[in-house]
Structure 1
């Protein structure tokens, strides 16, 4: 990605910055001013590394362990990651702040499908399985569907060394394959030409009212907790909830298998629409937040203990379903705001989870760009700034939330959304209908593949806090 930089530092400014950071913390040694060669890249590294240090000392959840850089000339990204606590698997920074915010808005450049990267067990066979496809995207127009398997791109078989580089190209030809338990992958003659473009990624992927023998079930597949420009995606969510209400649904299944998280305000909104009216009208606690000591003191001093940055409560959305029980479908990709939704509702209603253990992320972040105007650089940091607990203090589920009914989400046998033959959805429907549980449904045992790294999903596995208006003496007001 291209860096947009504003090299506004003079040598005098560098010396001032050096003095500021060397003297800022009483418990740190005073270091001599930095003497560096006066080059644009060196000055830029000094600027950004100093900015990273300030951000981490002020806002990082484990800020007591943040040390000043050995040299402000060092690579800012290397310095940032060197300061992360060993328990922190989620903080990150990017040199494309504008691109990051476009991702969070749901309008960005993409081919429009969500990939799962896997390696077939006991082989070197790498594949991409399609988790879902956004409507009206290049992928959908090309004919790509949920459950399709890509085994080669531009004629190159996927390997652990090339799969992500090939996938992230702006355009390519994908070669599809079929899978059989006995035959393994068999390459087909089918190829699809794909080219990225600006797409509108409505997180309401699928909504449907399903009638069983004795129940009416609302089924919602939700991809990401984002509100969109001008709250567009909250409106989309409202439409789905209203359709459920008008159909008189007795039960609701929320499919979060591929939902990596997003904005806390959207999780709060959906939780409030699902929760019992008593919890909403009483403005009961959904979750509480814990920060580093200095930041917690500042927030409480300037905003009070009832601030939305201290506690998130149920709110009246005008679209309440007033449920006493709720079903969630989960996988190892279910993370962050998704987990907050499940955990936050648990003290108030019967929460039934079907699927795989979730990721296990009970931390939240702020997006922190350069706050000087005009911005001196295009970097943004997303450090972990808090840990959340639900109303009864539950947190620290590092191994993920444990499902009530364990069932693997095997993408080699993926069914269309809403198909009762999907083992996870079928399980929930059978439980709702008081039929036999999913344990009697087809269960192929352990998935015949292992997960590979998905940087796209890792970056999106975030819990973003609402806009913060923290003002402290001598500091700029922050509005993330």
Structure 2
């Protein structure tokens, strides 16, 4: 298995391979963690040949880790809470249960939170928070560029809601909601319905994250949606990935296999191929063969195939990783129509690598980029993101409920499906009146993850952009 056999995959460069500390040395905790980080990165990191040994092993492990990264790398990640990371990747974790966009209103420099969605039965829903709500203050403090994220990540607070009008800006409506974080079950199937338009029946699915869940619970939830579409004899399908940062490669493979033609599935056509650093790829070929699932993902029989020849995807600027893999992987086999905003541009995958000693010596884990993927016709390197066929901005100051045909992105898809003109012209000059601010939580979820070290006695492997 990978963690066991890759000890023989070391590089020959003495300078690169020299241990940062000798085993016999008594070393600080930081030096110990950094030695472990370097060993993992030297073995698995896609750009391992480009790493430069930092001058000091005594620095904070996060600083040490990020100093190793290739300048092209926007996605590798380190955490000192491995258990918390795995809980979040499973979809059962402590949260208030709403997904935010942080915005800076360009006309007034006011910071706000717009609610992208709310998980059912979460504290946020129970408090009355809804998609499209605008939060202007937390615990009575107006949001600023300096405090917005620190206020947001607290486990208990009250939010002050506001209304927005283009001419007058924000108006506080004196409605305050009290929120307290709890352990939630974050089912990624946020919304599903069948919409009738003209003589068409359209299956509409809002999918938040590519996660299988404990005991495959979230795959079962996805199956329910797919079976409902099949039973309702849908003619077209719209998959809403606007707020989907990525997730597990195997779940993207599963959904792709449910959407593609039955002939592509039955013949196990290639969905995507994977490229690793040279020693790692050579070892995979040696131990698993060139047809290894670590090197290629194919369409697979899931028992839930819609046999489509055309598919519509809704995207936003945060759509990433496994979402992009799904779109790119399906493109050679069907008519893929993308509506919305240009995606993040992540064609890389990560493994979650914790300390595998028994017992574990620390709680750190790294998620380095370990692979790059290409689709069946070799398409990759979309650094600037996937460009939509129909460019429509997702303006959350005017968010509509999921499934509402007046949502500009969904409305565009429905108009195209029914044979009408799309909702907005490609030359439309209207633009959002705010700037998206950094969302570290979503950035951490931008992962394309492969199977997991503790589950398989090898290094943890997952797929995403979060």
Instruction: Confirm or deny a common fold (TM above 0.5).
Output: yes
| TM tier, smaller | over 0.9
CA distance in 2, matches of 1:435, 1:222: 26
- Does residue 26 (structure 1) correspond to residue 14 (structure 2)? The answer is yes
Query: Which residue does 1:153 correspond to in 2?
Result: 138
Cα distance change, pair 446–479 in 1 and its aligned pair in 2 (3 A): closer
Cα distance change, pair 413–443 in 1 and its aligned pair in 2 (3 A): farther
Query: Which residue does 2:36 correspond to in 1?
Result: 51
Indicate conservation of the 8 Å contact 2:54/2:68, yes or no. no
Query: Which residue does 1:251 correspond to in 2?
Result: 236
Query: Which residue does 1:62 correspond to in 2?
Result: 47
1:215-234 → structure 2 map (5 Å cutoff): 215-234=200-219
How big is the shift at 1:308? 1.1
- Does residue 130 (structure 1) correspond to residue 115 (structure 2)? The answer is yes
Query: Which residue does 2:186 correspond to in 1?
Result: 201
Query: Which residue does 1:373 correspond to in 2?
Result: 358
- 1:220 match: secondary structure: strand
- Does residue 445 (structure 1) correspond to residue 430 (structure 2)? The answer is yes
CA distance in 2, matches of 1:33, 1:328: 50
How big is the shift at 1:444? 7.6
How big is the shift at 1:477? 4.6
Query: Which residue does 2:444 correspond to in 1?
Result: 459
Question: Which of the numbers 80, 85, 92 marks the counterpart of 2:65?
Answer: 80
Paired residues, number: 452
Indicate conservation of the 8 Å contact 2:20/2:57, yes or no. no
Indicate conservation of the 8 Å contact 1:309/1:466, yes or no. no
Q: Which runs of 5+ in 2 are unaligned?
A: 1-9, 462-466
Q: Which runs of 5+ in 1 are unaligned?
A: 1-21
* Larger Rg over CA atoms: 1
- 2:87 match: secondary structure: helix
Cα distance change, pair 405–460 in 1 and its aligned pair in 2 (3 A): same
How big is the shift at 1:123? 2.4
Question: Which of the numbers 85, 88, 94 marks the counterpart of 1:100?
Answer: 85
TM score, norm. by length of structure 1: 0.90
Query: Which residue does 1:325 correspond to in 2?
Result: 310
Indicate conservation of the 8 Å contact 2:352/2:459, yes or no. no
- Does residue 382 (structure 1) correspond to residue 367 (structure 2)? The answer is yes
CA distance in 2, matches of 1:129, 1:401: 24
CA distance in 1, matches of 2:267, 2:11: 48
Indicate conservation of the 8 Å contact 1:130/1:147, yes or no. yes
Indicate conservation of the 8 Å contact 1:423/1:443, yes or no. no
Query: Which residue does 2:158 correspond to in 1?
Result: 173
> Could you give the per-residue CA deviations for residues 393-422 of structure 1, whole angstroms, max 9, x where no partner exists?
000111110100000000000000000000
Question: Which of the numbers 404, 415, 419 marks the counterpart of 1:419?
Answer: 404
- Does residue 354 (structure 1) correspond to residue 342 (structure 2)? The answer is no
Question: Which of the numbers 324, 328, 345 marks the counterpart of 1:343?
Answer: 328
Query: Which residue does 2:148 correspond to in 1?
Result: 163
CA distance in 1, matches of 2:20, 2:413: 64
Query: Which residue does 1:6 correspond to in 2?
Result: none
How big is the shift at 1:465? 1.0
- 1:438 match: secondary structure: coil
- Does residue 316 (structure 1) correspond to residue 301 (structure 2)? The answer is yes
How big is the shift at 1:331? 0.4
